[in-house]
Amino acid sequence: METLYIDRKGSELEIQGSRLQVRVPGPQRPFSTPLNLLEFLVISASVQFSSTLLSRLTQEGITAVFLNPRKEEATSIAYGLLHNAAERRLMQYRAISSDSLSLCYSIALVKQKLRGQRAMLQRALRRRPDQRRTLSKGIERLASLEPRLGNVANTSSLRGIEGAGAAMYFEAFQCLFAPRLEFTGRNRRPPRDPVNVILSLTYTLMHAEAIRVLVSIGFDPQLGVYHLPSFGRESLACDLLEMYRPIIEYWIWRLFARETLRLDHFSLSSAPDKPCILGKAGRKEYYQNYEYQARLWRKMLRRTARHWLTRLQNDTLQLSVTERVPGAIT
């Protein structure tokens, strides 16, 4: 077991020796799982636990995600202690302080995202030839953006290209969903249609996955390159997740296309300030499918984070030689 999902209101959690025990309301017997088999704890209901439990989860390197289905902004993530290899974070700080390296890394990130968006629409086109015109237009428009990356002089210009690509991509992406789902583009806080509910939920869970991977490698997840540091935000995790959004979005589309998730799994509200809510039956389907898919995504995130570390080690060594930075790590 890698992830444990607690979705039952009134459940009680406690640590007993080397196991996490969960008591659920009703006649069911408590169940437990060894802590050394647990990587994530996802809680999406009102439960009871002590501060001792949070402390032990942190010590064991278990990431806890607390979801509020009605308030996306109330979601919180508690992750384990930082890696002991502090020199890796020092290299990260130096790279962020270098305008040339930061821009180089950011361009590579946006390039991969644009290519991922094109690949997603191309995969979708093979399944939906009835939407050839819209999808082909999106593919062509995204392809026209990549040559512009070679002339980018600063991060502000790069964000303009990335933002334009996102608008082009979602204009094509929304045509894949049935009209009854009322998906007309990205909205959040609160999400107002089933597709946006699942986009937000999956992004939140994958953000937690990215944090855990980065911490395990030795990075500081709050210090990003493309996403600048911001109070309370794990900006480097945002950077890592950014490249995988098209893959996530393809999976979400297939959930709805196969009717693994259906309209009757959601409660809709006509009020603009009220969220669309994923119901109990829908949550069961979603979490089962997410956990199966996330096993592959975790491997991809780890592979990318390790590649980042190797490149960072090489680039900061070169930076020490070319810029003669005082106190450089060699």
52-61, 183-192, 243-252, range with greatest mean pLDDT = 243-252
Closest CA to 131 of 140, 143, 122: 122
- pLDDT for res 1: 52
Report DSSP state, residue 39: -
Q: What average pLDDT does this structure show over 127-131?
A: 94
294-310: pLDDT as tens digits: 989 999 999 999 999 99
Q: Look at residue 325 and tell me whether its pLDDT is greater than 50.
A: no
In this structure, how many other beta carbons lie within 10 angstroms of the beta carbon of residue 179? 7
Q: So what's the architecture of 3-66 in CATH?
A: Ribosomal Protein L15; Chain: K; domain 2 (3.100)
Specify the range with the lowest mean pLDDT, choosing from 21-35, 91-105, 145-159, 298-312.
Answer: 21-35
50-54, 122-126, 284-288, 312-316, range with greatest mean pLDDT = 122-126
Q: Look at residue 328 and tell me whether its pLDDT is greater than 50.
A: no
What DSSP element (H or E) covers 228?
A: none
- pLDDT for res 319: 62
Contact 27, 66 (CB under 8 A): no
188-217: pLDDT as tens digits: 777 888 999 999 999 999 999 999 899 888
Closest CA to 246 of 180, 176, 170, 312: 170
Enter the pTM of the model. Answer: 0.85
Contact 11, 47 (CB under 8 A): yes
- Categorize the per-residue pLDDT at 10 as very low, low, confident or very high, splitting at 50, 70 and 90: confident
- pLDDT for res 69: 65
Strand partners, 267: 277
CA distances from 73 to 105, 225, 267, 287 (A): 29, 23, 19, 20
How far is Cα 161 from Cα 152, in angstroms, rounded to an integer? 9
Q: The domain 86-304: what is its CATH number?
A: 1.20.120.920
Q: What average pLDDT does this structure show over 103-118?
A: 94
The residue extents of the domains of the chain are: 3-66, 86-304
